[in-house]
Amino acid sequence: MLEVIILAAGEGKRMNSARPKVLQPVGGRPMLAHLVDTAAELSPDRIHVVIGAGGDQVRSALAGRDLVWTEQRERLGTGHAAMQALPDIAPESRVLVLPGDMPLVRTSTLVSLLESDADLAVLSFIAEDPTGYGRILRAGDAVRGIREEKDASDDERAIDEVNSGVLAAGAADLAAWLGQVGADNAQGEYYLTDCVALAAGDGRRVDAVIAGDAGELMGANDRAQMAALEQVFQQRARRSLMEQGAALADPDSVQVRGDIEVGRDVFIDVNVVLQGRVRLGDGIQIGAGSVLTDCELAEGTVVHPYCVLEGARTTGACSIGPFARLRPGTELAADVKIGNFVETKNARMHAGAKASHLAYVGDADVGPAANLGAGTITCNYDGVNKHRTVIGADAFIGSNSSLVAPVEIGDQATVGAGSVISGEAPAGQLTLSRARQRTIAGWKRPRKKD
């Protein structure tokens, strides 16, 4: 049996944030969410999360996940935190303990630690700058202890093999060692790392598995370290996009903040942001400066520069932008054109429909090959309720027209420019609503008084 304990009770005071440290975002998601996903890939029997300050926020952020929550009411160190979860763990289980601020650790790295047959195994790495980390103390190849920075001698501070905070041991053994841990140290805390020396003193085998990539074991205690974590995450995410088949004009300028899948020959220009759940089919082009959130775009779709898409879906190759905004509920079929300064929301555009510029299409169903002229708006909101506009196939809506919903425009109907349409526009007919033009003879412009 394998059970995982994630230590997520830290306040993160140096973050200067109202959010607990483990909820600080990396790649658009809380650090803890990344770690829970990685732990779940190990198929453990249970995942225990130890929470403290801001515990309600943490629970809420991971609502719906199959987790066992444990509260650490007093913050007395990592050893004390782990002890809070152990009563709910079967003594015969193997326990993997993870710090909650390690979002980049790979499943394969944790597997390599769990493959150790030592009685207690820790995950270590070689640090270019070991400042702040606990040092791995060895006698030859044997691990004899871990010394926290504040308690280390000058010689011990010179050691570059450091502790990641990840530990694996039998539940019964871990409980016995934690029962012997004291708080006689510089911070007055119960260190989980003290179990290493206790295990070695009992003649048990202790192993430190050195991770090949120190970057994946990075944690964060302040905003600068969060920025460093984000850089590593973004490098991984961009590499994944390119491995899937995307060409990135300037990889360093692309921001990935979610679950992104791309097809072959996708082109992503500079300063693009992809967030949430985004699916891009083969051959899609995303123009410079565009932001896509929770979108699914079909093969061949072109998003021109500086578009903002949220909750949009295309079912065939179409053209969007530049400077277009597609809001949730937008669905575009093949050959649809959404031009510059067009906004859509909860709108379905059928094959070949066009809104080429300066239009608002909300709560609407636009038929095949229909054309919406510049300045067309669907007046869908009466101040309390939303109403729907239905535009038939091959209809032509003249420029600067207002369609007051609920309203229906028939197939091949024409609406004259500048009209306000509040009733049915019959199929195949011209419908318009304008005041009669007149010229006032002798009228003069007002002039300023002296």
What confidence tens digit (pLDDT) does each residue in 69-105 have? 999 988 899 999 999 999 999 999 999 999 999 999 9
Average pLDDT over residues 436-441: 91
**pLDDT of 244-269, one tens digit each?**
999 999 999 999 999 999 999 999 99
Average pLDDT over residues 400-410: 97
Which range (127-131, 310-314, 315-319, 412-416) has the least confidence? 127-131
- Which pLDDT score, from 0 to 100, does residue 219 have? 86
Return the percentage of the chain with pLDDT > 70, whole number: 100
Average pLDDT over residues 406-435: 96
For 399, the token pair is 């420029």
- Which pLDDT score, from 0 to 100, does residue 75 have? 85
For 148, the token pair is 């926290």
Q: Pick the catalytic residue: 48, 80, 357, 387?
A: 357
**pLDDT of 296-326, one tens digit each?**
999 999 999 999 999 999 999 999 999 999 9
Q: What residue ranges define each of the domains in the chain, with the CATH number in brackets?
A: 2-217 (3.90.550.10), 246-431 (2.160.10.10)
- Which pLDDT score, from 0 to 100, does residue 183 have? 84
**pLDDT of 137-155, one tens digit each?**
998 888 999 998 888 998 9
Whether 262 contacts 277, CB under 8 Å? no
pLDDT at 354 over 90: yes
Where do we find the tokens 């903040």? 257
**pLDDT of 165-214, one tens digit each?**
999 999 999 999 999 999 888 788 898 989 999 999 999 999 999 998 88
Average pLDDT over residues 372-400: 97
Whether 123 contacts 164, CB under 8 Å? yes
State the sign of the Cα–Cα–Cα–Cα dihedral 299, 302, 305, 306. negative
pLDDT at 24 over 80: yes
- Which pLDDT score, from 0 to 100, does residue 11 have? 79
Average pLDDT over residues 355-368: 98
Whether 362 contacts 379, CB under 8 Å? no
Instruction: Write the secondary structure of the chain as one string of H (helix), E (strand) and C (coil).
Output: CEEEEEEECCCCHHHCCCCCHHHCEECCEEHHHHHHHHHHCCCCCEEEEEECCCHHHHHHHCCCCCCEEEECCCCCCHHHHHHHHHHHCCCCCEEEEEECCCCCCCHHHHHHHHCCCCCEEEEEEECCCCCCCCEEEEECCEEEEEECHHHCCHHHHCCCEEEEEEEEEEHHHHHHHHCCCCCCCCCCCCCCCHHHHHHHHCCCCEEEEECCCHHHHCCCCCHHHHHHHHHHHHHHHHHHHHHHCEEECCHHHCEEEEEEEECCCEEECCCCEEEEEEEECCCCEECCCCEEECCEECCCCEECCCCEEECCEECCCCEECCCCEECCCCEECCCCEEEEEEEEEEEEECCCCEEEEEEEEEEEEECCCCEECCCCEEECECCCCECCEEECCCCEECCCCEEECCEEECCCCEECCCCEECCCECCCCEECCCCCCCCCCCCCCCCCCC
Average pLDDT over residues 326-337: 98
Active site residue 34: no
* pLDDT band, very low/low/confident/very high, at 119 (cuts 50, 70, 90): very high
Query: Which amino acid type is present at position 429?
Result: Q
Burial 418-445 (b: 16+ CB within 10 A, else e): bbebeeebeeeeebeeeeeeeeeeeeee
- Which pLDDT score, from 0 to 100, does residue 20 have? 92
Tell which phi-psi region holds residue 165, choosing left (phi > 0), alpha (psi between -120 and 50) or beta: left
Average pLDDT over residues 334-360: 98
Average pLDDT over residues 274-288: 98
Whether 395 contacts 371, CB under 8 Å? yes
Average pLDDT over residues 336-353: 98
How many angstroms separate the CA atoms of 388 and 380, rounded?
6
Burial 94-130 (b: 16+ CB within 10 A, else e): bbbbbbbbbbbbbeebbebbeebebbbbbbbbebeeb
Please tell me which residue, 183 or 44, carries the higher pLDDT value.
44
Average pLDDT over residues 384-393: 97
Return the percentage of the chain with pLDDT > 90, whole number: 85
